[in-house]
């Protein structure tokens, strides 16, 4: 017996793996040692980090609201269409994985940036951390978009 929503879980994990591999292969080993380019100290923390975090928070809010709304209205869905909530399990898992990836992205990006700010000479922001952060951010966005589209298709069938 297969878990309801297994396709959504497998898709989300596969998507993360593909994005991570793509970022890893496209990144040169020396191109990410610093958060800021030379001469622009603090630029990432002042301008870019808040933008990344705000976009991620927006996605998390919409994703969480969608899940709550669908689960809360599941009784109406079952009565009007005769379908159970199981038919929405895969897209809901995709949306839920976007939340998980988004929270991990925000946490690890801030953690890595803070470590860089306190130890700038350590070059602690490695290729692996860069690829992980990029994969988490783009996977959160991709899972949200794909899961939401899948949810619309599932709801209108």
Q: Residue 1: pLDDT above 60? A: no
Phi, psi of 68 (to 5 degrees): -60, -45
Q: How far is it, in rounded angstroms, from Cα 70 to Cα 45?
A: 36
Residue pLDDT, tens place only, 4-49: 889 999 999 999 999 999 999 998 877 665 676 665 666 777 878 8
| Every domain of the chain and the residues it spans | 44-156
Measuring CA to CA, which residue among 74, 132, 85, 81 is closest to residue 107?
132
Residue pLDDT, tens place only, 45-68: 787 888 999 999 999 999 998 888
Burial class (CB in 10 A: 0-12, 13-18, 19+), 88: buried
pTM for the model: 0.86
Q: How far is CA 77 from CA 5, 54, 71, 84, 154, in A?
A: 18, 32, 9, 8, 12
Residue pLDDT, tens place only, 67-110: 888 777 766 656 665 566 777 889 999 999 999 999 999 999 99
Q: How far is it, in rounded angstroms, from Cα 28 to Cα 66?
A: 38
Annotate 21-44 with b (16+ C-beta within 10 A) or e (fewer). Answer: eebeeeeeeeebeebbeeeeeeeb
Question: What's residue 48's pLDDT?
Answer: 82
Question: What's residue 54's pLDDT?
Answer: 93
More reliable by pLDDT, 138 or 68: 138
Question: What's residue 31's pLDDT?
Answer: 61
- Of the chain, the percentage scoring pLDDT greater than 70 comes to 83
Q: Residue 135: pLDDT above 80? A: yes
- Of the chain, the percentage scoring pLDDT greater than 90 comes to 48
Q: How far is CA 95 from CA 15, 42, 115, 131, in A?
A: 13, 33, 30, 22
Q: Which pair of tokens denotes residue 120?
A: 């700038």
Question: What's residue 39's pLDDT?
Answer: 58
């Amino acid at each position: 017996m297969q878990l309801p929503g297994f396709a959504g879980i497998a898709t989300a994990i596969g998507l993360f793996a593909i994005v991570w591999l793509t970022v890893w292969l496209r990144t040169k080993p020396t191109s990410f040692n610093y958060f800021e380019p030379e001469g622009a100290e603090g630029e990432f923390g002042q301008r870019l980090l808040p933008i990344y975090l705000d976009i991620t928070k927006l996605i998390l809010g919409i994703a969480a609201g969608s899940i709550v709304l669908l689960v809360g209205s599941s009784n109406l869905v079952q009565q009007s269409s005769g379908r159970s909530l199981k038919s929405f399990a895969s897209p809901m898992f995709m949306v839920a994985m976007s939340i998980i990836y988004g929270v991990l992205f925000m946490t690890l990006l801030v953690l890595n940036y803070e470590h860089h700010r306190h130890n700038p000479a350590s070059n602690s922001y490695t290729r692996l951390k860069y690829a992980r952060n990029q994969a988490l951010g783009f996977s959160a966005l991709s899972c949200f978009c794909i899961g939401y589209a899948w949810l619309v298709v599932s709801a209108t069938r």
